[in-house]
């Protein structure tokens, strides 16, 4: 999506990566800057691709099913066959309670949207329907239900403000931790994380919702958002993150890395996943460490992000 960009290095040098459609002049240095989270440099300008916007061609598909494993298998078939829906999501029953109780209470939900050129959208939609039809346990729902969900998916300032009021009123918080994995391990990651939280987290009784959904799929795997809501009990506001979110985040990162996935799909490492950076990268950590030494030898750039603070 990013074609070229400009950044300022720790010593004040301005660097530009030119806008070209593709090149093979050494490693793709765009990604050194794109994913650096301010730990190596600051991005000051980006050039991105643009796409035709044709919402009148959008086609929506929704299905209810009993289990996540079937849903992962369907996602895999669709992606491996070469279809590229702009939306391909799989919600478990628990996470679905935030969106779909009016038509899928207690069920998992698969959602697809095909868009773009009308011929491409039509063929993509037909391909999805054909693959899902191989699974008789999946029941299609009215596409209008999915279109309504889509039209209300993004939050504006009003919804954010209302959520703050609700949190203060109820003391109930909600967070996510997103990861990724190959098709061969993603279901085990999902099952292992949910099971470990339910059996090991010392404040499991305070959790009011624990579930997840996949939102980004590829030919070789998918991501997983773990979503958890909990009542904040017997702690000060500043203690909440260490009592609840950080221990839950720890379980998710540990299980994902143990089973062969990545501890973060697109949110970045930040401050709260940095403890597992070396474990995430393994023997490749030396490459990432070398970038820090080269770009930020004095350690002044966003300390504690991506690179753990050495004690």
225 is catalytic: yes
Structure tokens at 51: 């796409």
66 is in an annotated binding site: no
Q: Is 90 annotated as a binding residue?
A: no
Nearby residues of 168 by Cβ (< 8 Å), 6 or more positions away = none
42 labelled as ligand-binding?
A: yes
40 annotated as a binding-site residue: yes
| Helix 186-200 with 68-80: angle, nearest 10 deg | 150
164 is in an annotated binding site: yes
63, 83, 190, 225: the active-site residue = 225
User: Is 38 within any annotated ligand binding site?
Assistant: yes
41 known ligand binder: yes
Closest CA to 147 of 120, 118, 101, 112: 112
Question: Was 37 annotated as part of a binding site?
Answer: yes
Check the CA dihedral 64-66-68-72 and report its sign: negative
Identify the DSSP state of 12.
S
Contact 17, 30 (CB under 8 A): yes
CA 271 to centroid of chain Cα atoms: 17
Considering only CA atoms, which of 36, 41, 43, 42 is closest in space to residue 305?
36
Q: Which residues are catalytic?
A: 225
Query: Binding-site residues, please?
Result: 37-43, 164
Residue positions forming the annotated binding site for substrate: 164
Binding-site residues for FAD sit at 37-43
């Amino acid at each position: 999506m990013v074609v070229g960009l400009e950044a300022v290095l720790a010593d004040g040098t301005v660097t530009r990566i030119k806008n070209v459609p593709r090149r093979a002049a050494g490693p793709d240095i765009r990604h050194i800057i794109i994913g650096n989270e301010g730990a190596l440099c600051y991005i000051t300008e980006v050039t991105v691709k643009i796409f035709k916007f044709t919402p009148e061609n959008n086609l929506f598909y929704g299905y209810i099913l009993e289990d996540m494993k079937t849903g992962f298998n369907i996602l895999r078939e669709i992606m491996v066959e070469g279809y590229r829906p702009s939306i391909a999501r799989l919600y478990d029953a628990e996470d679905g309670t935030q969106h779909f109780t009016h038509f899928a209470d207690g069920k998992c939900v698969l959602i697809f949207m095909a868009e773009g050129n009308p011929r491409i959208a039509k063929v993509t939609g037909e391909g999805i329907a054909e693959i899902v039809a191989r699974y008789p346990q999946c029941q299609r729902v009215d596409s209008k239900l999915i279109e309504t969900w889509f039209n209300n998916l993004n939050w504006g300032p009003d919804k954010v403000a209302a959520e703050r009021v609700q949190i203060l009123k109820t003391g109930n918080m909600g967070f996510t931790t997103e990861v990724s994995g190959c098709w061969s391990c993603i279901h085990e990651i999902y099952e292992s994380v949910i099971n470990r939280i339910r059996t090991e987290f010392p404040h499991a009784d305070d959790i009011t919702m624990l579930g997840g959904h996949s939102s980004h799929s590829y030919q070789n795997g998918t991501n997983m958002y773990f979503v958890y809501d909990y009542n904040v009990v017997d702690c000060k506001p500043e203690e909440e993150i260490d009592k609840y979110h950080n221990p839950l985040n720890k379980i998710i990162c540990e299980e994902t890395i143990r089973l062969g996935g990545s501890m973060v799909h697109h949110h970045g490492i930040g401050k709260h996943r940095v403890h597992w950076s070396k474990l995430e990268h393994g023997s490749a950590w030396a490459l990432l460490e070398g970038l820090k030494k080269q770009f930020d030898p004095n350690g002044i750039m966003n300390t504690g992000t991506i690179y753990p603070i050495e004690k």
